[in-house]
Structure 1
Amino acid sequence: MLEEQIINVNGLDVHVVSTSKYKTTNFVLQIKSTLSKETATERSLLANVLKSASKQFPSRKEIRLYLDNLYGASFHADVQKKGENHIISFRLEAANEKFLKDNTPLFKKSLSFLHEVLENPFLDDKGGFSEKVIREEKRTLKQRMESIYDDKIRYANKRLLEEMCKDEPYSVHPFGEMEKIDKINSDTLMQEYKRMLQEDDIRLYIVGDVKAEEVEEAASIFSVTSHSPQKQADTQQSKPLNEPKEKTETDDINQGKLHLGYRTAVTFADERFPAMQVMNGLFGGFPHSKLFMNVREKESMAYYAASRYESLKGLVLVFAGIEASKYEKAVEIIKKQLDDMKQGNFTDEAVEQTKVMVKNQLLETADSARGLVDLYYQSIAAGNQRELTEWVKAIDSVTKHDVIDAAATVELDTCYFLRGEEAAK
């Protein structure tokens, strides 16, 4: 992974990855707060409102025209959760001016635009956010939330986490809650905006062919500050129940969505983390995994079957598309795959194959500018630094015994099944 240099400019940490590998420069503002039901909807809406209008560019159209003038720069905003952190990201990708024939100072103009978006929002005569912009962005946010319901895999995953982590911040979706949207007004949004600027951890990432001196000069326009990351507090983690929770719901669907939520004490900051990555890869992360080969291929139980490891929270999530009549059998076979992992019923060759795939996935992520930022930022979100070279070495050194030990920490907490209405009769 390319080397990261952190420059503190008037209290703002600017993470610079200087490389001539790309012909563009990538800028990412990361704004981190604690994930909370009280603020998630406001922050989600706020990200869209800030993205859509600023003092200098008071409409989406004017922002688009300005970006076109920056040789077609692209600009996006999104919200996500990393562990029990709620992250707003503003991403801008612009051509590197060294490849242009004229002398347009794209680097400075890009930083100036991000500063404008963050610190000079479009306000009405009373000094509040424009009700017109808020109305438009509320509609957009509702559509994004509705799109989750329309995508039954995403919806089932959302419902699993709501049931599994009921009394934990992790149950909150990064978009927030539909029923809260209409209650938000210009005043409540302004309160959240001011709180965000004062309290949130704000960082700027820059990846491209840039020098530290020009970064320091250009970034001095920002007046926000970063807060040094604390080692992430243990995320609220209730122990798996002796008897896992079961929840079945019905919807107008043909194919049932079976989602199982497992808990593990092994998180990104744990020294056993690389072993857990390999464990998950062999359990359900890749096409050669136990879930794919045995649940989908051998038993023909599922249209798809896979697992994902949420390392900042300590969850392993399994998802499978099944016929409703095969529910009990599918759950039984999925449980057996994890039991086989705990018993060591897999070969050394399978471990080696998985290690290669985990490393390739990691190196592939580090190969793109966006992936680089995400990898570096994961260390900030976890409060634990992981150098890529050491990370790869740690994966290399994982043994079959380490994988068995990692599997031993994984316990089923909740089983969620979304089935068709006809099948429930």
Structure 2
Amino acid sequence: MSVKEIKQNENNIQFHMLPNKKHKTLTFAVKFRAPLERGTITKRALLPYVLKQGTASFPTRKELQEELAELYGAVLSIGGSKKGESHILTFYLEVPNEKFLPGTNSLLERAIELLYEIVYKPNQEENGFPKRVFDREKEILRQNILSIKDDKASYANIRLMDEMCSGERYSIHAQGYEKDLSAFSNQELFTYYQNMHQEDEIDIYVSGDFDAEQMLNLLTSRFKRSSKKKEAPVNDDVPAQSVTSKELIEEDQMQQAKLNIGYRTNILFRDEKYPALQVFNGMFGGFPSSKLFINVREKNSLAYYAVSRMESHKGLLFVMSGIAPEDYNKALTIIREQLEAMKNGEFTEEELEETKLLIINQLKETLDHTQGMIEFMYQQVVGHKEITVDELFHGIQQVTREQVIEVANQVKENMVYLLTSEGGEADE
């Protein structure tokens, strides 16, 4: 399985063509990347809400939706996320491929023009966005930030990162901060949006069945910017350090407690040990066949769920579990025992090979979707490493038992966070 990528840096923007015959749609992605910064994150979090509400030519949400319908049901999404210590703002537009729609030879140009407008020409009033849009969307974001407290699993994840990564960029909330929303004006948001176009790293992707040269010409004739004012490198290296584990217990009105544990792996996407870390994570808590699932949930009935996931651009690993409040110490002990078992090589060759297969199948499934393919390719930009799909699969297949044990011994517990019921007694 291979993904052919054609790259070209033009107009101070990096263009990525991913031509393939698998899909009958064309997917465009425009990605803006900047370092996570506490002072700007709430503005970046608000922008997707505002920009979805209209463009210069389609000034209302209704008119924008009507244009998407005219483009044979094109789908638009705008969102923000963090990868390591970067914040990414992504504009996705998926449209039917005119190759498969007789008599629609202007569909591609219209789609690119709409994407350009969404990114560069929002609906504007004087020196800002429309006041009613700014006020309304700011209030919606405020409510969404406040509602995170009601989703106890998400809230526990955030609190774990707050405490574990205190003083590091990674602790900054990608969804923004409620108290910041009253700290900037409509005009300040619009100015930040304009600056972002000059200062962010910009990557544009297209995936689907198309002629790469024609597509590049269409995009580069539209998407341009002057030379950037500043480079925005992100230092995502994690220096080797002695890691001590901290514990924090907080109480809230809830029945099911959330036990989350943060670990430092000090292994990043670009590192040679990364495939072995993927296999370790799969065996530890990544799949229903993993040690956490079988031993914490199935055998001991101590967790409603117990999973692990990696942050591949920051060298972190997280365990997330839902437990009865009184089972805290038992669950924590058994989770720790599973990591020790991995460090001691207490797994079979069959489990090792099965996990490799599960990881490869999961990746294949991701790459079957255009957005999944784009995200895989963009991972390489953020992670400063180019790797083909075949090389990735080969790297996973070649992981040895000894390599898994080696990375397991590199995983250091850094933070235990428990969100439990008020007055709940932990077991002794």
Q: Give the structure-1-normalised TM-score.
A: 0.95
Q: Go from structure 1 to structure 2 and tell me whether the alpha carbon gap of 1:85 and 1:225 turns closer, same or farther (over 3 Å shift).
A: farther
Where does structure 1 differ by over 6 angstroms across 4 or more consecutive aligned residues? 225-231
**Cα contact 2:260–2:418 (8 A) shared by 1:** yes
Correspondences of 1:192-231 after superposition (within 5 Å) = 192-219=192-219, 220-224=221-225
Q: Distance in 2 between matches of 1:231 and 1:223?
A: 21
1:336-390: per-residue Cα shift (whole Å, max 9, x none)?
1101111111111111111111111111111110100000000011111121111
Q: Structure 1, unaligned stretches of length 5 or more?
A: none
For 1:195, the aligned partner's letter is N
Q: Go from structure 1 to structure 2 and tell me whether the alpha carbon gap of 1:226 and 1:24 turns closer, same or farther (over 3 Å shift).
A: farther
Correspondences of 1:47-126 after superposition (within 5 Å) = 47-124=48-125, 126=126
**Cα contact 2:35–2:233 (8 A) shared by 1:** no
**Cα contact 1:80–1:174 (8 A) shared by 2:** yes
For 1:60, the aligned partner's letter is R
1:300-344: per-residue Cα shift (whole Å, max 9, x none)?
111111100111111110011111111111111111110111111
For 1:169, the aligned partner's letter is R
Q: Distance in 1 between matches of 2:63 and 2:241?
A: 51
Q: Which residue of 2 aligns with 1:340?
A: 341
Q: CA deviation at 1:413?
A: 0.4
Q: Which residue of 1 aligns with 2:188?
A: 188
Q: Which residue of 2 aligns with 1:405?
A: 406
Q: Go from structure 1 to structure 2 and tell me whether the alpha carbon gap of 1:140 and 1:224 turns closer, same or farther (over 3 Å shift).
A: farther
Correspondences of 1:246-395 after superposition (within 5 Å) = 246-395=247-396
Q: Which residue of 1 aligns with 2:424?
A: 423
Q: Which residue of 2 aligns with 1:146?
A: 146
Q: CA deviation at 1:98?
A: 1.3
Could you say what secondary structure the match of 1:300 adopts?
Answer: coil
**Cα contact 1:202–1:224 (8 A) shared by 2:** no
For 2:137, the aligned partner's letter is E
Greater displacement, 213-222 / 141-150: 141-150
Q: CA deviation at 1:114?
A: 1.2
Q: CA deviation at 1:240?
A: 5.4
Greater displacement, 91-100 / 48-57: 48-57
Q: Go from structure 1 to structure 2 and tell me whether the alpha carbon gap of 1:300 and 1:225 turns closer, same or farther (over 3 Å shift).
A: farther
Q: Which residue of 1 aligns with 2:31?
A: 30
Could you say what secondary structure the match of 1:302 adopts?
Answer: coil
Q: Distance in 1 between matches of 2:159 and 2:199?
A: 30
For 1:320, the aligned partner's letter is S
For 1:174, the aligned partner's letter is A
Q: CA deviation at 1:152?
A: 1.1
Greater displacement, 113-122 / 89-98: 113-122
Could you say what secondary structure the match of 1:223 adopts?
Answer: coil
Could you say what secondary structure the match of 1:203 adopts?
Answer: strand
**Cα contact 2:247–2:416 (8 A) shared by 1:** yes
Q: CA deviation at 1:257?
A: 0.3
Q: Give the structure-2-normalised TM-score.
A: 0.95
Q: Go from structure 1 to structure 2 and tell me whether the alpha carbon gap of 1:271 and 1:230 turns closer, same or farther (over 3 Å shift).
A: farther
**Cα contact 1:240–1:263 (8 A) shared by 2:** no
Q: Distance in 1 between matches of 2:241 and 2:59?
A: 49
Q: Distance in 1 between matches of 2:147 and 2:74?
A: 27
For 1:136, the aligned partner's letter is R
Q: Distance in 2 between matches of 1:69 and 1:262?
A: 49
Could you say what secondary structure the match of 2:341 adopts?
Answer: helix
For 2:264, the aligned partner's letter is R
**Cα contact 1:149–1:155 (8 A) shared by 2:** yes
Q: CA deviation at 1:174?
A: 1.0
**Cα contact 1:231–1:383 (8 A) shared by 2:** no
**Cα contact 2:51–2:122 (8 A) shared by 1:** yes
Could you say what secondary structure the match of 2:424 adopts?
Answer: helix
Greater displacement, 46-55 / 340-349: 46-55
1:193-216: per-residue Cα shift (whole Å, max 9, x none)?
122011101111100111123212
Q: Distance in 2 between matches of 1:105 and 1:202?
A: 26
**In the alignment, which of 232, 235, 251 is matched to residue 233 of structure 1?**
235
Greater displacement, 227-236 / 288-297: 227-236
Q: Structure 2, unaligned stretches of length 5 or more?
A: none
Q: CA deviation at 1:47?
A: 2.4
Q: Which residue of 1 aligns with 2:169?
A: 169
Q: Go from structure 1 to structure 2 and tell me whether the alpha carbon gap of 1:166 and 1:15 turns closer, same or farther (over 3 Å shift).
A: same
For 2:269, the aligned partner's letter is F
Q: Distance in 1 between matches of 2:239 and 2:47?
A: 29
1:231-282: per-residue Cα shift (whole Å, max 9, x none)?
853345684543x111111111100000000001111011000000000000
Could you say what secondary structure the match of 2:255 adopts?
Answer: coil
Could you say what secondary structure the match of 1:416 adopts?
Answer: strand
Q: Distance in 1 between matches of 2:83 and 2:226?
A: 21
Q: Go from structure 1 to structure 2 and tell me whether the alpha carbon gap of 1:231 and 1:11 turns closer, same or farther (over 3 Å shift).
A: closer
1:381-412: per-residue Cα shift (whole Å, max 9, x none)?
11111211111101010011000001011000
1:41 equivalenced with 2:42 (yes/no): yes
1:132 equivalenced with 2:132 (yes/no): yes
Q: Distance in 2 between matches of 1:260 and 1:6?
A: 40
1:86-123: per-residue Cα shift (whole Å, max 9, x none)?
00001001011111132341111111111111111211
Q: Go from structure 1 to structure 2 and tell me whether the alpha carbon gap of 1:118 and 1:48 turns closer, same or farther (over 3 Å shift).
A: same
**Cα contact 2:262–2:416 (8 A) shared by 1:** yes
For 2:32, the aligned partner's letter is I
Could you say what secondary structure the match of 1:409 adopts?
Answer: coil
Over the aligned positions, Cα root-mean-square deviation in angstroms equals: 1.9
Q: Which residue of 2 aligns with 1:157?
A: 157
